[in-house]
Amino acid sequence: MRIFYGWTIAWTVLATWAISIGPRQSFSVFLLPFVAEFGSSRSAVSAAFSIHMAFYAVGGWILGIIMDRVGPRRIIAWSTGAWALALIVCSQLQSLWALYLVFGVLGGVATGGLAYVPNNTILSRWFVRYRGLATGIAQAGVPLGTAVYGPLGQLGIASWGWRTTHVAFGIFVAVTTLPLVLLVLRDDPKEMGLLPDGDNVPPASGGTRPARENGVIGSGLPRGYWVIFVANTLRGMTMYAILVHQVAYLVDVGFAKMAAASYFSASFFLAVLGGLAAGAISDRIGRTRTYAAIAALYVVGYVSLLLVRGPSQTILLWGSLLCGGLANGGASPVFAALLTDRLQGPRLGFLLGLQNIGFGLGAMLGPYLAGAAFDWWRGYLSAFLLMALAIVASSLLVTLTARRPSWSTR
């Protein structure tokens, strides 16, 4: 029995996403070295990541519009080359403002074109019935890249410094990811004479494939679109506040830097499992229920982390890593599957890109607010509790829209 090529696509997207996005996701281990290098506060350095996420969101939307015309694979290839270049140029920066420009603006636009919008567009064309599982496999690349690049970044900083580490990251991204994108990825199963999910009979010819997407026709937005936009913003806040500040928090309460980076990495290895499981579970019980469970895990993860006050409290720490890691891995693929279920049509790139602005806005605000809270109150208590509340509100908004006919998919 021949294996459906769509699964090759899903695993390739996992690999390219992990390799290319990993350097961005490891920003947490560079936070304190940047503070020391540029003589700035944590909020000022965190602003570089916030600027990156803002341009990631806007870039993803603009490139999504272009993608609707030229196809996802070309956008991913161009963006990967630009991101590799940005990483190499980062090694030469001499000021915080230059970091804002190169990592923040150029790097943000580049990652906007190689990640969420084009990858999920490709997957939505190759899968319908197994979209949750396929998305879970592919988006496991994000936590996998984070888990691998986190300790590699810390090791590189300790051995060669942050500048040489950025050069190594940029070269590695270019020589590994570009060949996979150009030689393996395909925009649509039609290019290979195939149907989604590997079916042999199209639905119109009597197949039994259950339809999940409603489709969006015309120039307007579906009812409830902006409610989901807000939910996506809250999700971004919750996910990226902890991403940027977890290592610094653990160092503050007494962990060695390498130990903190190792725990950071462990949480994202758990996130790989969370993504794979959550995507498959959402295919069975629905996106909304699965996302609610993910929100509950996030709350437990944040609260447990706040209760860790020293290296001896390993049980609490591992509880936080387990819950937070599984939630971090599951949130993106379930939300992406929810969106692609509901927004299928010729303007998918535009609609996903606009949603990505909501996520990017949250990913921009979360790290900055957490850094500002630390600078003001010398601690993360208020910021982390705010992020736990944000993901609960996000889940409630998703549940609200699921009850409306135009947004109901299951």
pLDDT tens digits, one per residue of 359-371: 989 988 898 899 8
CA neighbours closer than 13 Å in the CB half-sphere of residue 299: 13
Query: At the fourth CATH level, which superfamily is domain 5-197+220-407?
Result: MFS general substrate transporter like domains (1.20.1250.20)
What is the DSSP secondary structure assignment for residue 2, as one 8-state letter?
P
pLDDT at 258: 86
Coil vs helix vs strand at 127: coil
Look at residue 315 and give its three-state secondary structure.
Answer: helix
pLDDT in the model for residue 203: 52
- Average pLDDT score, the chain: 89
**Confidence (pLDDT) at 349:** 83
Q: What percent of the chain has pLDDT over 90?
A: 67
pTM assigned to the model: 0.80
- For residue 153, what pLDDT band results from cuts at 50, 70 and 90? very high
Confidence check: pLDDT of 200 > 90: no
Q: At what angle do helices 287-307 and 225-252 cross, to 10 degrees?
A: 20
C-alpha closest to that of 231 among 338, 116, 376, 149? 338
SS3 content of the chain, % helix, strand, coil (to 5): 80, 0, 20
Q: What is the DSSP letter of 1?
A: -
In this structure, are residues 113 and 59 in contact, taking their beta carbons and an 8 Å threshold?
yes
Residues 6+ apart with CB under 8 A from 180: 12, 15, 16
Domain extent listing, the chain: 5-197+220-407
Rounded CA Rg of the chain = 20
| Burial of residue 400, with CB atoms counted within 10 A of its CB: 0-12 exposed, 13-18 middle, 19 or more buried | middle
Q: What is the pLDDT of residue 219?
A: 59
